[in-house]
Amino acid sequence: MKRLQNCLLCTLFIFLLFSCSEKQDFNQYQDLSITPTLETSIFFVKVQESLINRVVDVSFFTQDFNFDAFEEAFFSERVLEGVITYELENTTDKPIQIEIEFLDEDGLLLDTELFVMPAAPTATLIREVAYGNAAKSLDILRNTTNLRLNAANFGDNVSTSGIPDASIVLKSSAQFMLRLK
């Protein structure tokens, strides 16, 4: 019995020794191209109509947003292209204007996106802005350190919409393709 086991073990060893296998090529890494698409939210702003009515000035909202991904060398050196999507909804009875400014570290203006929307009822405005290839320059994204949001009311400060919880909502998200290797 022991002899049979040894014989089977030797046969198995011989088969393994002469089995069909290819030599492994570990240089395939040189040909590898990794370009994932990353998605992120940039900002979400909701302003109630009651707050807009309390502000006497035309400009009712101004705020700077720091988007750290634009500042990181990892991002700025590897970004190939991107799309920023803006979604604006106005359920107030006021015509509005939203301006988004892309600023560099010295506060200099690199680019602007302008949205003008009439009073409600209106459809939700969706705008996609592409960067890279034949679209806007990637240098805008690479050099942006802050986004400034300015909102203006071109209506009055007393009327109210018949829509419950009337407000202005601005959302933005982005998708970026990066070259990892």
- What pLDDT is stored for residue 146 in this prediction? 87
User: Phi/psi of residue 141, each to 5°?
Assistant: -70, -45
Residues of the chain with pLDDT under 50: none
Whether a cis peptide bond, with omega within 30° of 0, leads into 121 is: yes
What's residue 79's pLDDT? 83
Residue 55: CB atoms within 10 A of its CB come to: 14
Per-residue pLDDT at 68: 66
φ, ψ for residue 65 (rounded to 5)? -120, 130
Q: Report how far residue 118's alpha carbon sits from residue 110's, in angstroms, rounded to the nearest whole number.
A: 27
Per-residue confidence (pLDDT) for residue 4, from 0 to 100: 67
Query: Given this model, what pLDDT does residue 75 score?
Result: 76
Q: List the strands of the sheet with 79-90, edge to edge.
A: 37-48, 167-178, 79-90, 125-131
What pLDDT digit, counting tens, does each position of 129-169 carry?
999 888 899 888 888 888 999 999 888 888 888 888 889 99
104-120: buried (b, 16+ CB within 10 Å) or exposed (e) per residue? beeeeebbebebebebb
What is the C-alpha separation between 163 and 49, in angstroms, rounded?
10
Of 27, 9, 142, 5, residue with least CA distance to 76: 142
Q: Which domains does the chain have, with CATH numbers?
A: 42-178 (2.60.120)
Region of 126 on the Ramachandran plot (φ > 0 left; ψ -120 to 50 alpha; else beta): beta
Residue-wise pLDDT for 111-123, tens only, equals 999 999 998 778 8
